[in-house]
Structure formats: structure tokens, C-alpha cells
Chain A
Amino acid sequence: MTEVSVAKQDMAATGELVVLKSVNKHFGALHVLQDIDMTIARGEVVVVIGPSGSGKSTLCRTINRLETIDSGAITIDGKPLPAEGKELARLRADVGMVFQSFNLFAHKTVLENVMLGQIKVRKKDKKAAEERARALLDRVGVGAQADKYPAQLSGGQQQRVAIARALAMEPKVMLFDEPTSALDPEMINEVLEVMQQLARDGMTMIVVTHEMGFARSAANRVVFMADGRIVEEAAPDQFFSNPRSDRAKDFLSKILHH
């Protein structure tokens, strides 16, 4: 208990990085996000779990405005999310995103994928960008693949390149939208290891995932969503061993007994 309160004080000291206030979103008649309130502190790792269709991916995508919201407010580092335009592009550069389907630029080599944003958005010169790109690719363990095209890499390698591409922008926060859901089982760990290292290095992360092992070991907090609402928020130990809500108990009973 004391540990939790110490952690909370730390967060207060370093500040709130991402704040969502009564966020609502509809897809036609479907109310996918219902009055979502959420605060992510600097350096915190938040894992969002929940059944399919609960709105967790949509939540993740609203944070860099790949999905617009109908009402409510989202602020990042104290600044409200701007409307489409230059301001928004600038903000997106500070928010790294990793997709379920990797989305590496198919016509560019791995190295060019990691260099593009640095040169075009951060206005770095080519040499500095390449140096940083190579260092990042080494860090995620795909340095040897730098000159290949994405289609020549395995899924796990592609996803690690995608993480390097996001890191190259020196983001304040990283969003992971089901980063391992499209991977073959034997490739999941190589991606999770990179993410765990990132978490240890103090990166602020919001991770939508079905990997309960990752949630247990790397998360500061687990957010459980169902039917467009946040049903429960707790430290991972507490959530997995002693969930409060029936919905969470039901969900966990279905996935943890295999």
C-alpha cells in the first residue's frame, strides 16, 4: 500500500502527460467511448485490456487523433489536442504509435523507414538521421536488416522496426495498438522484450494488448474496458489476483485458465 502511494507522489511530481476528460465517441449508432476519464503520468506504463469491441483500440487512436472524438477533451503535456493541420502534425511527432499491422512504408527500405520522419519532420540532416536510425535498429535487434524492404522481414522483425521508427522521433509517449496480435506465437516474445526494455528505460507507454504476461510484468496500472467504458483500474497484481468488478472477473476467468 505504501509503495503505491509513493508511486503516486512520484507521478504528481513529474506531472500528468496525457489526460482524457469525459471523452465520448460514436460510430453511427454505436457508442464506442462513453465518458472516458483517464490520466497517464510521465513515465507510467498503462496497459489497456478488455474484450474485443470494448473500444480500447479506438481509445488508443483518439490520443493522436487518428480517430476524432465527439465530445470531451484530450490534453497532451498540458496542451489540448489541436484540430487537423500543422499543429496536429507537430503534436503527432511527439506521440509515437505502433500498429497491429506494423504499417511500415512498403516502398522504402527499413533504414529509410526509420530516417523519413527524422529528416522530414525533425529536419535533421541525412547523416545524423542515418546514425540514429542504425543505432535504434541495433537496439531493437534488426540492425542487420537495415537495407531490406519490409516485405522481406518476418512479422516480429517488422514490428520491431516499427517501434524503432516511432522512437526515432523521440516521442514523449508511445501508443501501442495491439502490437503482437498479428504475430505468429514464436515472434511475440521478441517484440514484448523490446517493449519491456522501453518500459524499464522510463518511456511513458499506453499499451492495448491481450498479453496478460506483459501486463503483469511491465505495467504500472491496468485499465480494464468493456462496452465503451472503463470498468476497472488497478495495479496489475491487484487486478489479476483480486478483480473488483464482475465484468473483469468474468473476463479473467475466460482467459486465465488455459
Chain B
Amino acid sequence: MRRPAERRTRVSLYAEAREIVFDFLEGYDLLGAFWTTVQLAALSAVGSLVWGTLLAAMRVGPVPLMRGFGTAYVNIVRNIPLTVIILFTSLGLNQTLGVSLGADDVETINFRLAVLGLIFYTSSFVCEALRSGINTVPVGQAEAARAIGLNFNQVLGLVVLPQAFRSSVVPLANVLIALIKNTTVAAAIGVAEAAVLMKEMIENEAQLLLISAIIAFGFVVLTLPTGLILGWVGKKVAVKR
């Protein structure tokens, strides 16, 4: 049995301790930085899905030139470090070639360049995840589709890809998780996302481990549900044969 006064002291002590420990967070826009991360990831994910699907279509298509292009693209792009690609969008595209992607201020230009670089890179992995999905669709499905008179685009769009997407959900979730973490590379061209904030905080505050842990936790909050939800979706939409 403690006396009320003693308990009050304890409570205020905890509050005080919390204030001291998390004191360094003051003045930093942690949520804002992660919001930029989410925006980078979301826009790049949509773009990579579209471009990656087109690449996969090229790679399984009947036109040799497109097949060659798709194969070359994937094999070159996925083997270039992302940092090199992101730096090139800024140094090469923007500063040398003057590409500004329709924006005026440096912040927006760099954000868009980063999205472009992430799409360029991630789409090669999306393509391969989808292509492995396409390989799970039995040849007979495409034959039956051709036999009723569907053309190549229809065979792919109406029969093969819908089934391929369903069996690619889990590999695509892996790509998405990698993409979310890869957004930190945008820090290289100064996009104010979570990793930039982390660097800034570490430079200014003395809480190295705690800062790293908070940023790491922020990423886990983003990626863990992504994996769990998409894993569940993958099971839910799986094609029964």
C-alpha cells in the first residue's frame, strides 16, 4: 500500500523521464518525413506495376524486337545499383540534360526524379515477378483462348495476366517491401524523406541508437502490414485448378 502522494511523485517522474528521453524529437517533423516516404513508395509502386506489366507483356510476346528489348532492359537495369540510377536522374537527366519533369522548385523536381528512378529500377523486378506468375498459368489456358479467336492482347489481358497476377501477389509483395525501403536512396538527391531526417537528427542529437531504432520502427510499421495483408490477399485470390 503506497500513499497517494508517493504515487503522484512516481507518475510525474515517469513523465519527466519521458520528456528527457524523447526530448530530442522536438523540432523534427517525423510524420512529415515518413509521409514523403509513403508518397515516394506509393507513386513508384503504381508506376512500376504499369511499366513492369508492359515489360512482362513484351517478354512473353510474339514480336522478337520487343522480346529483345524486354530481356535487355531487365538484365541491364536490375544489375545497376539503385544509387547510381537515382544520382543519374539528378546529375544526368536534370543538371546535364535539363529535364525538370514539369516542376519549378528544386524540391519537387528532385521528388519527381526520385520517383522516375525508382520506377525505372523497380519495374524490372515487377516484370520478373509477373513473368514467374505467367509461367504458373498452364499453356492450355492460352491455347483455349486462342482457339476461340481471341487475339494476342486479349489472350494476355483477359486470360493469362488475370491468372498470373493472382499467383504473383506474394512475389509482388516482396518487391513492394523492397521498394518501400529503397525509397531511402532518394536521400542521395536530397528528397526529404525518413532517411534524410534520420541523418539530420543523428548529426544534431546525441541519441544515435534511439534515433535509428525509431526510424527502423517506422519502416517496420509500413512494411510488416504490407507483407501480412498481401500474403492474405494472395491466398484469397489464388486460382483453384
- Using CB atoms and an 8 Å cutoff, list the residues of chain A in contact with chain B: 64, 66, 84, 86, 89-97, 99, 101, 103-107, 116-117, 120-121, 149, 151-152, 162, 165-166, 169
Contact among B138, B150, B239 for A117, CB-based, below 8 A: B150
Residues of B within 8 A of A (CB): 62, 138, 140-141, 143-151, 154, 158-159, 162-163, 166, 239-241
User: How far is the CB of B200 from the nearest CB of chain A, in Å?
Assistant: 49
Query: How many angstroms from the CA of A106 to the CA of B141 in the assembled complex?
Result: 8
Known: A92-B148, A93-B149. 5 other contacts (CB 8 A): A89-B149, A89-B151, A94-B149, A99-B144, A116-B150
Q: Which of B138, B140, B144, B151 has the most CB of A within 10 A?
A: B144
* Most chain B CB neighbours (cut-off 10 Å) among A66, A90, A107, A149: A107
CA gap between A120 and B149 in the complex, in Å: 9
Instruction: Flag if B148 contacts A166 (CB, 8 Å).
Output: yes
Query: How far does the Cβ of A87 sit from chain B's closest Cβ, in whole Å?
Result: 10
Whether the Cβ atoms of B147 and A105 lie closer than 8 Å is no
* Nearest CB on A from B239, distance (A): 5
Q: Which residue from B62, B159, B240 sits with its C-beta under 8 Å from A105?
A: B159
Residue of A nearest to B62 (CB): A84
Which residues of A lie under 8 Å from residue B151 when comparing CB positions?
Answer: 86, 89
* Chain A nearest CB, measured from B1 CB (Å): 67
A95: which B residues are within 8 A, CB to CB? 147
Q: Which residue of A99, A117, A149, A166 has the most chain B CB atoms within 10 A of its CB atom?
A: A117
Contacts of B144 in A (CB 8 A): 97, 99, 103-105, 162, 165
Give, as a whole number of angstroms, the nearest-CB distance from B9 to chain A: 65
Inter-chain contact B241/A151, CB cutoff 8 Å? yes
Q: Can you list 10 residue pairs at the A/B interface with Cβ under 8 Å?
A: A66-B147, A89-B151, A91-B149, A92-B148, A92-B149, A103-B138, A107-B159, A107-B162, A116-B158, A162-B144
Choose among A89, A99, A166 the residue that contacts B150 (Cβ–Cβ < 8 A). Answer: A89
Contact residues in B for A93 (Cβ distance below 8 Å): 148-149
CB distance from A77 to the nearest CB of B (A): 15
Give the complex CA separation of A221 and B42 in angstroms.
Answer: 63
Q: What residues on B are CB-neighbors of A66 within 8 Å?
A: 143, 146-147
Q: Are A151 and B146 touching (Cβ within 8 A)?
A: no
Determine which of B62, B147, B158, B166 lies in contact with A120 in the assembled complex, contact meaning CB atoms within 8 Å.
B158
Q: Are B239 and A107 interface neighbours, CB within 8 A? A: yes
For A84, the closest partner residue in chain B by CB is B62
* A residues in contact with B158, CB < 8 Å: 116, 120
Kindly list chain A residues whose C-beta atoms are within 8 Å of the C-beta of B148: 92-93, 116-117, 121, 165-166, 169
CB of A84 to closest CB in B, whole Å:
7
Among A84, A99, A117, A151, contact of B149 (Cβ-Cβ < 8 Å): A117
Check B149 against A169 for contact (C-beta < 8 Å).
yes
> Which residues of chain B are within 8 angstroms of A106 by Cβ–Cβ distance?
141, 163, 239-241
How many angstroms between the C-alpha atoms of A91 and B147 in the bound complex? 9
Q: Are B140 and A103 in contact (CB under 8 A)?
A: yes
